[in-house]
Amino acid sequence: MVQIRLQKWLSEAGVCSRRQGETFIAAGRVRVNGRVVTVPGTKVDPQQDRVEVDGRPVKAAPGKIYLALHKPKGFISSCRHGDRPVVVGLVDLPTRIYPIGRLDLDSTGLLLLTNDGRLHHQLSHPSFDHEKEYEVAVQQPIMDDQLRQLAEGMPILGSRTRPARVRRLSGRRFRIVLQEGRNRQIRRMVKQLGHKVKRLHRVRIDGIHLGSLPEGAWRHLTPAERERLLRHLPKETPPFKPGTKPVTKS
């Protein structure tokens, strides 16, 4: 009989991330063998115990799934939302998956989805330094010195952004490579320069490129892409530090 922590089982089964699992447990949404469990860290035997979330049984995921999706404008980077379409609705798979990080409602481009809770933590948490590359269009021509400010770092949300790589594409378009993902970071930086983002499109996450994937379409990652993402994956997911939020929304 092998027992594991309840929130870890929820993550491995593809229900949610471990941190979300802790929230579900504390809220009384999880039952084990018919009894509500509210203590995170409770041990269960997935082979013997019956686990339910909101009355639905939790079953082992059929295998780890790693997808690349071309997110269209107007979709929420979430598993559920009251009145707007969500990105998981674009994927016709029976297994529950969830997006890694976020793109805001008006942003488009590459989004990764998985049922692997450990990878979700690694790529979503701000302590991890995976590169994300964006193509940005602004409404008015942007000056060279303003692009340098973006590259050198700017004060937003109470601290200075990390240095970035910036390359001009045209008078109103540029590419920027970030190693962090603060809430609406690019839009905030551009606004501080007196500009407004007209289009924000993510073309790469680490070694995964959007390429020619059509808008709204998805594909499985190649073995090489999976290996690149997973090679630094820790055997145990490190705990979240108090006060941090696993958000990457640009």
- The reply to whether 239 falls in a domain is no
pLDDT, residue 243, reads: 37
- The reply to whether 172 falls in a domain is yes
CATH at 121: 3.30.70.580
pLDDT, residue 92, reads: 82
Query: Is the domain of 139 the same as that of 123?
Result: no
- Name the active-site residue from 49, 92, 104, 106: 104
Say if pTM beats, i.e. exceeds, 0.75.
Answer: no
Query: Is the domain of 138 the same as that of 198?
Result: yes
Query: Is the domain of 198 the same as that of 142?
Result: yes
Query: Is the domain of 139 the same as that of 118?
Result: no
pLDDT, residue 247, reads: 45
pLDDT, residue 244, reads: 39
Q: Which segments of the chain have a pLDDT < 50?
A: 236-248
Query: Is the domain of 137 the same as that of 193?
Result: yes
- Does residue 40 contact residue 7 with C-beta atoms inside 8 Å? yes
Angstrom distance (rounded) from CA 200 to CA 213: 17
Query: Is the domain of 96 the same as that of 146?
Result: no
pLDDT, residue 248, reads: 45
Degrees, nearest 5: CA angle 161-99-28: 105
Give per-residue pLDDT as tens, 83-105: 789 998 898 877 778 888 889 99
Is 104 catalytic? The answer is yes
Give per-residue pLDDT as tens, 20-67: 889 999 999 999 999 999 998 899 988 889 999 999 898 776 678 899
- The reply to whether 248 falls in a domain is no
- The reply to whether 236 falls in a domain is no
Query: Is the domain of 196 the same as that of 139?
Result: yes
Query: Is the domain of 154 the same as that of 98?
Result: no
pLDDT, residue 58, reads: 86
Number of domains, the chain: 3
pLDDT, residue 198, reads: 97
CATH at 154: 3.30.70.1560
CB atoms under 10 Å from CB of 216, counted, come to 13
pLDDT, residue 196, reads: 96
**What domain range includes position 136?**
132-205
pLDDT, residue 36, reads: 95
Query: Is the domain of 174 the same as that of 226?
Result: no
Query: Is the domain of 161 the same as that of 217?
Result: no
Q: Which two tokens stand for residue 218?
A: 């998805």
